[in-house]
Structure formats: structure tokens, C-alpha cells
Chains A and B, each alone.
Chain A
Amino acid sequence: MINTVPRYLINFILLVLLQVFVFNNIQFSGYINPYIYVVFILTLPFETPKWLLLVLAFLLGISIDLFSNTLGMHSSATVFMAFLRPFVLNIIAPRDGYESETYPQLKYYGGTWFLKYSSILVLAHHLFLFYIEVFRFSDFFSTLLRVLLSSFFSILLIFVGQYFYRKDNKRL
């Protein structure tokens, strides 16, 4: 458990850099903006205190905001997602609960579980983010389309990323 803190710190920095320098520049046809940095919140340990969850989410969001010049947008969306995380974890918990010494990652609980888990939270995050970006409901359906497409790609990328994690973790 000791080495989790520097690991997550590196994780944090890597994800922010990846998001800011790579994924923020990916904009297919104006509809698809994948936001993969949320994987940091997704993969935090089960035992993380709830308040820390929110604080970390805020820090993560505000870091992205600082780089993409959208102060408050990503932070509010990420905090919202972090707020939902405990409830979602409760809802989709396996029958015998979460084991200790495990993380909410694909390699511990399988693809279906992780897909469910990440889909719900990423969708929530993207919904919040895109609607607060548009800041009105007049273009409701075009925004919704953007949310769905971007969510799909974010989930896809996060899912693929989990396989990299696997290798990383094995090495660690």
C-alpha cells in the first residue's frame, strides 16, 4: 500500500499530460472529444476516503482546466463523477463484495464489470461536461449526440488502456 501514493501521483501526472497534449487535440468532426483522464478516478483504491475522492477529482479537473483554459468546467464534471463513484460501486458490486488488496480495475473484476463501471461513470462525466460546456438546453439533441459519441470513444480508449495497466502492474 505504501507504493500506491507515488504510483497514483505518476498516474495523475501522466494522465493529465496525455489528456492535454494528445487527446485534447483529437476532435473528429467536432463531435468526438475523448476525455480519458477520468480513468484516474475510476482506478483509485476502494478504500479511498470519500472526501479525498472529491478533493482528488477537483485537483484532477482543475489541472485539465488550467491547460485547456476552461476553468471550472472539467473540475465540476470530475467532482460530479467522483461523487457518483461510491454509489455506482455499491450498485454493481459483485455478490461477495470487493476483496481487499484489489483495485477497481479490469484485471481484478473482469471485462464486463469494468465495462459497466466505467460506462456509467464516463457517461455521467461526459453528460455533465458537455452540457455545462454548452450551458443551455436548446441544442439538447446535438449535445446528446456529442456526449454519446465521445463517451463511446472515451470508454473504448479507457478499456484499451486497462490492458496496458495490466502489463504495468505485472511488472511492478
Chain B
Amino acid sequence: MKSLLNFLLRIHFLLLFILIEIFSISLLVNNNNYQRSRMVNFSRELSGKYHQELSGLKKYFSLQEVNQQLVEENNRLLNIIESTYKSDDVFFRNVNDTIYNQRYFYTPARVVNNSVNKKHNFITLNKGKKQGIKPEMAVVSDGNIVGVVKGVSENFATVISLLNLDFKISAKVKKNGYFGSLVWDGQDYQTAVLNEIPLHVDIQLGDTIITSGFSSIYPEGILIGYIEEFEKKSGSFYTIYVRLSTDFKQLNYVNVIGNLTQNEKLNLEQQGIDPND
């Protein structure tokens, strides 16, 4: 105790100095707004830094847990994405047919491969069997004719383009309903040829050509194009050159049209034929 007192006596100068300084500075900080605010800011900053460091340290120790959580989160999100993707894929749009039962359904698809410069052009779509695409479905782009689905895989479909020498479709002149068959002549990707329109039919340049709806593939009234030129070539039929309304060079999104009554119609037509056989 005595030595402690001696020690305190020995350093009394320093102790007193420290005490008075602390007192002065506490006076300073408590009575001067500027210094007080600086002090408060400083301590705030200091404590903020301390907490930041501490939380950084804590974070490091919980990395394992966080990783696990992230993996789970990722998993969950991936599942959601996949499912939304699927539901988007099988999104069917009703055609305006409210009085009767639905006859056609539309599936949107994207063109992933396309050509216009061959004699037998095909288009590949990014949807297939999984998304309900079947062969013999019609493909349209914004109400304009594109082609017919030929084959499907799990996730892709090939479409016979209208620009294919094997493609043939039943078409009619919109204003009077006379129908014929439309083919591509393999020349210009913007022009197709409509045959079998009788000579007595009144046609003019610019008349609209649409699908007839006889084929059970295409609904009636899908736009094909406009008459660009016509001539009497042989016999009793016109050869009509149709300017296609579809721009095959910039196909991007198309709709695949499924016909719900296709089988029924075909069966009925089969029955009509069968007795004759």
C-alpha cells in the first residue's frame, strides 16, 4: 500500500496532467457543438467499422452454411425457371370460336433454322413432342401461311416450308371462293403459283388468296398472299402468280396450329370411302 502511494506520488505530475487533460477534453467535447458532432461521428464510424469487421469475421465462419443455403436456393430457382419454361411452352391460345367447341389451338414457337434458297426448304422450330407438337399441324406467322409440321423430336419440330416443291395447299380467292391448289415453283421465295382456277372466274391483280380450309390442316382464311400476275397458259385454267404475304427471310416467331377435330374429319372421310373399296 505504501509503495503504491509512493508510486502514485512519484507519478503525480503525469497523473494530474492526464486527469486535467481528460477533464478539459470532456469539457471541450460536451460544450462545443462542432467538436461534439465530430466526436459522435468518430465514435459512430469506429463502432461501424468494428461491427463491419466483426460481421465479416462471422460471415467467414458461416460460409459453409451460406454455401449450403445458396445451393438450395439455386436448386429451388432452377426448378421454378424450368417449370415456368414448361408452362410457357404448353401455353395454348384459343382461337375465337366461342359458340362451338374449340377446334384449333395455337402453340407459339421460335424458328431456330430456316432456309429460302433451296428447292426443298425446311424450317426447324424449338418445340416438339413434349410441347404437344405433332406432324400435320399447320404453321403460321402472324396470320400468314408458313408451312406444315413434318416430323417432331422431343423438343424440336421440322416444318415443310411453303417454299418446298413437295408442298401443296388448297387455296381460294377470297372474294368469290373459287379454290385451287397452290405450289411453289422453286424460283422466287416471294412468289408461289396457284393453279386450277377456271378461266371464267373473275380475278383481278391484287386479289387476296387465302387458305380454303378443305385440307383439315389449315383453318380457313389464313392469308397466303395477293395476285401479282395471271395468265392463261393451257387448257381451261389460269396460272396465277401469288405474291406471298409471308416474308420467309425474316421468320422469327411462328404459331403452330393444332386441329382438334382433324381425326374425326379424317375418320368420317375414310368411312365415306370405305364402302366403295
Given contacts A54-B13, A135-B34, contact A72 B26 (CB under 8 A): yes
In chain B, positions 18-37 with a C-beta closer than 8 Å to chain A are: 20-21, 23-32, 34-35
Give the shortest distance, in Å, between A86 (CB) and chain B (any CB).
Answer: 8
A-B contact pairs, 21 of them (CB 8 A): A51-B12, A51-B16, A54-B13, A54-B16, A54-B17, A55-B16, A58-B24, A70-B32, A71-B31, A72-B25, A72-B30, A72-B31, A73-B32, A76-B28, A79-B17, A79-B20, A79-B24, A80-B17, A83-B14, A132-B35, A135-B39
- Chain B: interface residue count, which band? 20 to 34
Q: Does A136 contact B (CB under 8 A)?
A: yes
Q: Does B130 contact A (CB under 8 A)?
A: no
Q: Does B86 contact A (CB under 8 A)?
A: no
Q: Does B44 contact A (CB under 8 A)?
A: no
Q: Does A34 contact B (CB under 8 A)?
A: no
A76 to B18 Cα, complex, angstroms? 10
Which residue from chain A places its CB closest to the CB of B22 in the assembled complex?
Answer: A76
**Which residues of chain B are within 8 angstroms of A135 by Cβ–Cβ distance?**
34-35, 38-39
Contact for B13 among A51, A58, A61, CB less than 8 A: A51
**Which residues of chain A are within 8 angstroms of B27 by Cβ–Cβ distance?**
62, 65, 71-72, 75
Contact for B25 among A50, A76, A82, A136, CB less than 8 A: A76
Which residue from chain B places its CB closest to the CB of A74 in the assembled complex?
Answer: B24
Give the shortest distance, in Å, between A6 (CB) and chain B (any CB).
Answer: 25
The prevalent SS among residues of A at the interface is helix
Q: Which of B21, B25, B30, B39 has the most CB of A within 10 A?
A: B21
Binding site for B on A (CB under 8 A): 50-51, 54-55, 57-58, 61-62, 65, 70-73, 75-76, 79-80, 82-83, 86, 132, 135-136
**Which residues of chain B are within 8 angstroms of A83 by Cβ–Cβ distance?**
13-14, 17, 21
**Which residues of chain A are within 8 angstroms of B16 by Cβ–Cβ distance?**
50-51, 54-55
**Which residues of chain A are within 8 angstroms of B32 by Cβ–Cβ distance?**
70-73
Give the shortest distance, in Å, between B11 (CB) and chain A (any CB).
Answer: 11
A83 to B16 Cα, complex, angstroms? 9
Which residue from chain A places its CB closest to the CB of B27 in the assembled complex?
Answer: A72
A153 to B109 Cα, complex, angstroms? 87
**Which residues of chain B are within 8 angstroms of A76 by Cβ–Cβ distance?**
20-21, 24-25, 28
Which residue from chain A places its CB closest to the CB of B37 in the assembled complex?
Answer: A135
**Which residues of chain B are within 8 angstroms of A61 by Cβ–Cβ distance?**
24
Given contacts A135-B35, A136-B38, contact A54 B28 (CB under 8 A): no
Closest 5 CB pairs between A and B? Answer: A72-B28, A72-B27, A76-B24, A71-B31, A50-B13
* Given pairs A50-B12, A61-B24, A62-B24, 13 additional interface contacts (CB within 8 A): A50-B16, A51-B16, A54-B13, A58-B20, A70-B28, A71-B31, A72-B24, A72-B25, A73-B28, A79-B20, A79-B21, A80-B17, A132-B35
**Which residues of chain B are within 8 angstroms of A54 by Cβ–Cβ distance?**
13, 16-17, 20
Give the shortest distance, in Å, between B247 (CB) and chain A (any CB).
Answer: 66
**Which residues of chain A are within 8 angstroms of B24 by Cβ–Cβ distance?**
58, 61-62, 72, 75-76, 79
A57 to B30 Cα, complex, angstroms? 20
A57 to B21 Cα, complex, angstroms? 11
Give the shortest distance, in Å, between B10 (CB) and chain A (any CB).
Answer: 11
